[in-house]
Amino acid sequence: MKTLYIFTFLILLFSCKENKNAPEKIIEEPIEQQIIKPEFQTIIDSANVTGSILIYDSLKNTYYSNDFDWAKKGNLPASTFKIANSIIALETGVVKNDSTFFKWDGKRRAMRAWERDFIFKDAFHFSCVPCYQEIAIKIGVKRMNNYLAKLDYGNMKVDSTNIDLFWLEGESRINQFQQIDFLKRLYQSELPISERTETIMKRIMIIEDNTNYKLSGKTGWSIRNGNNNGWFVGYVENQGKTYFFATNVEPKQQFDMDMFPMIRKDVTFKAFEEMKIIK
């Protein structure tokens, strides 16, 4: 019997050593792919603009674009920053909810559409720059920089001289990949923000919700050194799939600038149709 105990002990001892030295299982992350879409370039050229359409298929972990170099180039975020600005406003309590009231002071504004009172969600949709300048000033430089670092949002340059303009002019930059990364983290509940803030943001970002798809996002337009740069960023939910996108374009010479606000969305929708994301 004693011999049996010794034999059993030796088996267990060697078995433990063997398991201890066994190589650990390596869980491989799916490889991110980038696929050139010449059809996107045709869409861009037909619109008489230059730039890049970047679409990310979250299920396939694959990016599609006509120009990945352009997609890596940083630009001013312009009004696409209203997504991050809104999050920070809600997290700091500068804005209480999507119905927070902004009273027009009666002064003339750059756009007639802004010469009115707003509630927060409408200020977002109408891209009311004066409303968001008021918000940024109330947030302040220190809190703005702290939250931008927490959110890992692009490369913003914020100080006391530009707190109300840094997303529209100056040296702040974000590229299309960074825009999509930020949107992915928001959508997947990976940002260090409250559930309440996330819920409000996802609600006010909805542009279109129909039987075929739900589209959420924000446009942006900056003018730097006389050069116009336009954004359309967001995500599309369709039949259980989610696609994230960031379009960045600039007009060619002799472009009808009255068309620029529409072109950003138009080329993006044509890319959606090309990929059969929407019909």
Query: Please, are residues 244 and 268 in contact by the beta-carbon 8 Å criterion?
Result: no
Tell me how far apart the alpha carbons of residues 201 and 88 are, in angstroms, rounded to a whole number: 11
Contact between 81 and 52 (Cβ < 8 Å):
no
Give the torsion through C-alpha atoms of 104, 106, 112, 117, to 10 deg: 20
CA–CA distance, 59 with 276 (Å, rounded to integer) = 15
The neighbouring-strand residues paired with 64 are 35, 55
Q: Catalytic pick from 79, 172, 216, 222?
A: 79
Indicate if the alpha-carbon torsion angle 117, 123, 127, 129 is positive or negative: positive
79 is annotated as an active-site residue: yes
Catalytic residues: 79
